[in-house]
């Protein structure tokens, strides 16, 4: 005895999610948070890039001071990237989607509003 199921498409998932008022409100709030994040990020991009550059430089200095080679670190990072990809898949479309779309729209609005 086997049970066969067909995978749901994006349209079915979105229709199902938006039919529940609580889920629709959560998606709307996530979208608005992403919109704000994108807008603020574009306005503060030079500070964000400086922050990332400082973190990267500090990381490489720490690696160098510990005597570890960068190839060993990149080997470890490749394992972590695989785990991060699996984690992103688990989070799914409804968790990441609204914030990502809001972020992109917020970034575009901030660039246009300059």
* Span 35-40, average pLDDT: 89
Closest CA to 33 of 114, 82, 96, 93: 96
Q: Model confidence over 3-34: pLDDT tens digits?
A: 655 666 777 777 777 788 888 888 889 889 98
Taking CA 111 as the corner, what is the angle to CA 106 and CA 114, rounded to the nearest 5 degrees?
A: 120
Report which of residues 108 and 60 the model is more confident about: 108
pLDDT, averaged across the chain? 77
């Amino acid at each position: 005895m086997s049970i066969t199921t067909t995978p749901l498409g994006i349209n079915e998932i979105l229709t199902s999610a938006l039919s529940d008022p609580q889920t629709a409100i959560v998606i709307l709030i996530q979208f608005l948070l992403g919109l704000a994040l994108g807008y603020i990020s574009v306005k503060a991009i030079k500070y964000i890039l400086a922050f990332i550059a400082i973190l990267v430089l500090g990381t490489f200095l720490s690696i160098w001071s510990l005597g570890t080679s960068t190839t060993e670190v990149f080997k470890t990072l490749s394992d972590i990237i695989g785990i991060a990809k699996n984690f992103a898949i688990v989070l799914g479309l409804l968790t990441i989607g609204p914030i990502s779309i809001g972020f992109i729209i917020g970034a575009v609005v901030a660039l246009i509003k300059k």
